[in-house]
Homo-oligomer: A and B are copies of this chain.
Amino acid sequence: MDYRYSDRTRNIRPSAIREIIKYAVAHPDVIALSTGSPANEAIPVDEIHEISEKIFREMPLAGLQYSMTEGYPPLRATTKKRLKEDFNIGTDEDDLIITTGGQQGLSLAANVFVNPGDTVIVEQPSFVSGINAMRIHGANVIGLDMDDDGIRPEALAHVLETQDRVKMLYVIPNFQNPSGKTLSYERRKAIYALCAEHGVIILEDNPYGELRFRGEEIPSFKSMDTEGIVVYNGTYSKLLSAGMRIGFVMARKEPLQLLTIAKQFSDCHSNIFFQILTDEWLNTADVKAHVKKIQGICRDRCDFMLKLLDEKLDPRVTYTRPDGGLFLWCTLPEGCDSQELSEVALEKGVAFVPGRDFMVDNNAPCRSFRLNYTTPSYENMEKGVERLAEAVKEYFKIKGID
């Protein structure tokens, strides 16, 4: 059979991250600094277990039968209340549906807004499955380079003025994946004004916002959304459990209705047992204390890895010092390619994700790479950074850098 696939599947490659994770699974001696999972100790297993028991005791059929596409009504209400009270997000003109993890919100937004050939602007580097969710809906993806404060409004203005089919800006404002960078408040305001002026949707993806362990919280795009241009994408993956696949998307009621229809034909509804469980947890657990706890976990792990890098890594390799989230972004000197370093590093027994996999053009060499500090054990972080430092030494020798 000579399969005739849809055009949209072309130019889509499986995420290199998954390939690297597969490699790590097949080679258990390789230390993975490449994944993006929350820390195991951040998952409140006993609380989840207890609530699961309660559901089986009190309402098992509600947790096991078909449910509504929009999501479990109490979880929608609890999520809206929490967003409003804790983050000043959402107005009477907005509404919210439950999604199958944060990834689904990205896919639904692309589905509803992006025609083949439309431009979607992304941060560069950016979350590879975000970029690909845009591309599989036919988007022409344009990346804006970031400095320490994120993307520059001037660069955005230039694209908006020179491209005539810009539909959406996809942005992860807090502790971005993969860079760990945070978009400054001044820039958020300027970027919001630009997008409002040009009628461009801001797809604000905020999986890590609650994982701030340093500095002051910065208002979200959605909290300043007087014009209704922001689609806010959230998830309980980092707060409670990633495996349950429970996220949410908030938008003005009109576009949300289309997002709901798109979801209906994507997967009917999300796992209802864990929707009930999440709602019950939000209403009965000490959520604020839990958030503090996981912020502490991330901070301790981040600081530990920064200390290791400070001590062991060749100082010509630079790296971000994030205020939250799961990731560090390291950069090699001019003339290097982290893909080449990756091969040396895998031989030394340590895996990271080369930066090119987060770029709009993922064939071009890239000096940067991503490290994760929440998944490995402390012991493996120490061993992993040692191996990375050795790999860098060897790679610099190969490249004639000394």
Contact = CB atoms under 8 A, between A and B. Distances in A.
Number of copies of chain A assembled together: 2
Nearest to A43: B64
B265 A107 contact: yes
A7 interface: yes
B7 A243 contact: no
Interface string A58-77: 00111111111100000000
Contact of A133 (B52, B228, B265): B265
Interface of A: 1-9, 12-15, 18, 35-38, 40, 43, 45, 48-49, 52, 56, 60-69, 99-101, 103-104, 106-107, 111-116, 118, 129, 132-133, 136-137, 167, 199, 201, 227-229, 237, 241-245, 252, 254-255, 257-258, 260-262, 264-274
A265 B11 CA distance: 13
A65 B83 CA distance: 24
Contacts of A48: 56, 60, 64
A244 B271 contact: yes
Contact of A267 (B67, B107, B167, B241): B107
Nearest to A275: B243
B129 A111 contact: no
B7 A115 contact: yes
A242 B199 contact: no
B6 A114 contact: yes
Nearest to A56: B49
Contacts of A40: 61, 65
15 contacts: A3-B254, A5-B113, A18-B68, A40-B61, A43-B60, A45-B64, A67-B243, A100-B266, A100-B271, A129-B265, A132-B261, A243-B271, A243-B273, A245-B270, A245-B271
A151 to B, nearest CB: 22
Contacts of A52: 52, 56
Q: Which 10 A-B pairs have the closest CB atoms?
A: A243-B272, A64-B241, A271-B271, A100-B267, A103-B268, A1-B228, A133-B265, A49-B56, A66-B242, A64-B243
